A and B are shown apart, each in its own frame.
Chain A
Amino acid sequence: AQTVTQSQPEMSVQEAETVTLSCTYDTSESNYYLFWYKQPPSRQMILVIRQEAYKQQNATENRFSVNFQKAAKSFSLKISDSQLGDTAMYFCAFMYPHHQGAQKLVFGQGTRLTINP
């Protein structure tokens, strides 16, 4: 089974600090995609960043970057200069072809991140 594991249920940092959220996944697939989603208190899911498995270069979106280690099946999210608005649940997600080409999208358990003033 393809699984996603987030080992940090909760994290808390001070505003302006850098924080790294961990994610590991288990798969035998070679072609897949990884995502980080943010869920603020409104519960609306928002895409933070994506990474194609065939790309060696780590994705970056402004203050958000990933450390993608394909051999280790690790996909961590780094948030630099954290802001109060970054307070949210963060989910790591994994999309892969399954059942006649259908794309299956699975999520980790989530990490609750709190940014303190």
Chain B
Amino acid sequence: SAVISQKPSRDICQRGTSLTIQCQVDSQVTMMFWYRQQPGQSLTLIATANQGSEATYESGFVIDKFPISRPNLTFSTLTVSNMSPEDSSIYLCSVVTGGADTQYFGPGTRLTVL
């Protein structure tokens, strides 16, 4: 499976600021996704990151709050904008390679908003 890295691994941010999270894969992948895992909760899909076009957002998530870029087949960023304490979560990227059916996840970014 692909090796997936995320930066930063964790951060503590102030209310009202923005943080950009990077997801880097060591090989070209077919699909990339961003998930949120709120404290003590399960994973919720934020959006599908589309290469060269706008991301596809799930219900309850909007581009102004979570802008996503995917400039090529190995890299994506998720920005959490105008943060509030409710945004404190683990943010994970996942990928699907080739025609495979399995999503593989990055190590996650633990965000705390004060």
Q: Tell whether A pairs with B.
A: no
